[in-house]
Structure 1
Amino acid sequence: MNSFEHIRALLPSEARAAIRSGAYTRHTAGLAAGYLQANLVVLREVHALDFARFCQRNPKPCPVVGMTDAGSPQFRTLGRDVDLCRDVPSYNIYENGRITATVPDISSYWKEDHVGFALGCSFTFETALIAAGIPVRHIDADTTVPMYRTSIELTPAGPFGGTMVVSMRPIPRDRVAEAIAISSKFPLAHGAPVHTGSPGEIGIRDLAAPDWGDSVDIKPDEVPCFWACGVTPQAALLSANLPLVITHTPGHMLITDVPETAEIPVIQPNQKNAETFQPLSRGD
């Protein structure tokens, strides 16, 4: 009952419940269609302002969609009872720039001075691509999207900097323009690709050897398209060499109750359930 196909049919709150209970621990690509998924970063409050600046200066790979209060594991603007300590299928623990553990729950790691950031994820626009009849190879194959380090420089802030990480999806040549137009409608999910075509132009040597995720076949009539990726801040956090940082394991995202069409995720104080979520306009 906890197969990928079963979990794929659940509402966001139901999918989170399966994840929280430990019944589902795999990737979240294709789950909770129509709702925003998010990358996760947890770090000490002393580093939170610099990290927020880093995200503001690099919005393509790091679109902030939620932030917790210091010491609270609850994302109050992303849904009812969204607990960052238990609602992600897999977490990576980094100490002094090295990954030291991969765990299904971070309750024992959580400290009173921790702050959580939720960053938009490209899984969100994949639903729109599929609805338009554009194939998404890694979902069809039930694997994790391939992700690569690039030579695209980021704008630094405090100890955070480095180069962009991208995710790749092969798109039929005659539908690349359409895929660009569709994904550009989701700025909180990285928007349009940062590059299409030759991977060498952005410093990727071998598409068959992704730095994260699983490789996928590229057919002769397809073009590799590269979107800014939420693993970018993970790479930046590693280079910052902080004593303790927690992130999602690549491909294992936080599922929210926010519709993917929302411009700014928010839940008003008097709202009681996911059905009453409403986006705010940019002017609010």
Structure 2
Amino acid sequence: MIGCSFSLEAELLAAGIEVRHITEGVNVPMYNTNLPLQGAGALHGNMVVSMRPIPASQVAKAVEVTAAMPRVHGAPIHVGNPASLGIKDLSHPDYGDPVTIKDGELPVFWPCGVTPQNAIMQSKLPLVITHAPGHMLITDVLNADLKGNG
């Protein structure tokens, strides 16, 4: 099963942190990075990240809220300068849609569930079966049950 950011976003919203792509009615912006993954057999590639602009005054809260869910997405992997991840232009995501970044906001990056698809494409495997975007496994597991390491 491949994770999705819906649990992460519900927690951010519950903490009073705007999730810009939801506000703007678009898909979350996602970017290929220069962060190599540990290969497994023929699979290899780089990490994909999703980005949410967060007011600088709320970044610590966003980290705290999402770090409490290590079995889902966990804390962001990077805050700030996208160039250090190999991202040249936030207004041109590799997947999803661009969002407005306002004065006083920082780009905050989380590992993305598109990473496996990116690794598959980079590995040029002859046959792969995966899910279609927006068609995911839905369970009765609550966000509260995903918090902590248990």
After TM superposition, is the score higher than 0.5?
yes
- For residue 62 of structure 2, what is the aligned residue in structure 1? 179
2-structure distance, mates of 1:167, 1:212: 9
Residue in structure 1 matching 2:107, options 221, 224, 233: 224
Alignment of 1:231-246 (within 5 A): 231-246=114-129
Within the alignment, does 1:259 sit opposite 2:142 as a pair? yes
State how far apart, in whole Å, the 2-side matches of 1:218 and 1:248 are.
30
More helix by share: 2
User: Which entry has the higher C-alpha Rg, 1 or 2?
Assistant: 1
Instruction: Give the SS at the match of 2:101.
Output: coil
1:78-128 deviations in whole A, cap 9, x for unaligned?
xxxxxxxxxxxxxxxxxxxxxxxxxxxxxxxxxxxxxxxx12222211111
Match of 2:43 in 1: 160
Q: 1:163 deviation in Å?
A: 0.8
- Quick one: which of 20, 23, 27 aligns to 1:144? 27
Report the AA paired with residue 191 of structure 1: G
Change in CA separation of 1:143 and 1:210 when aligned onto 2, cut-off 3 Å: same
Alignment of 1:63-142 (within 5 A): 118-142=1-25
| 1:207-245 deviation line (CA, Å, top 9, x unaligned) | 011000010010011100000001000011112222222
In the alignment, the residues of structure 2 paired with residue 258 and residue 190 of structure 1 have an alpha-carbon distance, to the nearest angstrom, of: 15
**Aligned pairs, number:** 149
| Residue of structure 2 in register with 1:213 after alignment | 96
Gaps of 5+ in 2: none
Letter in 2 for 1:229: C
Identical positions, percent: 54
Deviation (angstroms), 1:179? 0.1
Q: Say if 2:30 and 2:112, in contact at 8 Å, map to a contact too.
A: yes
Per the TM alignment, residue 254 of structure 1 is displaced from its structure 2 partner at its CA by 3.2
Match of 1:35 in 2: none
Residue 172 of structure 1 aligns to which amino acid in structure 2?
Answer: P
The alignment partner of 2:57 has SS state of: helix
Greater strand content: 1
Q: Is contact 1:120–1:188 with CA below 8 Å preserved after alignment?
A: no
Using structure 1 for the length normalisation, give the TM-score. Answer: 0.50
Change (3 A) 1:212 1:252: farther
Give the gaps of 5 or more residues in structure 1.
1-117, 265-280
Q: Is the 8 A contact 2:45 2:123 kept in 1?
A: no
Q: Which residue in 2 is equivalent to 1:190? A: 73
| Higher RCO, 1 vs 2 (CA within 8 Å, ≥6 residues apart) | 2
Q: Secondary structure at the match of 1:248?
A: coil
Residue pair 1:213, 1:251 contacting (<8 A) in 2 also: no
| Shift >3 Å, 4+ stretches | 248-254
RMSD: 1.7
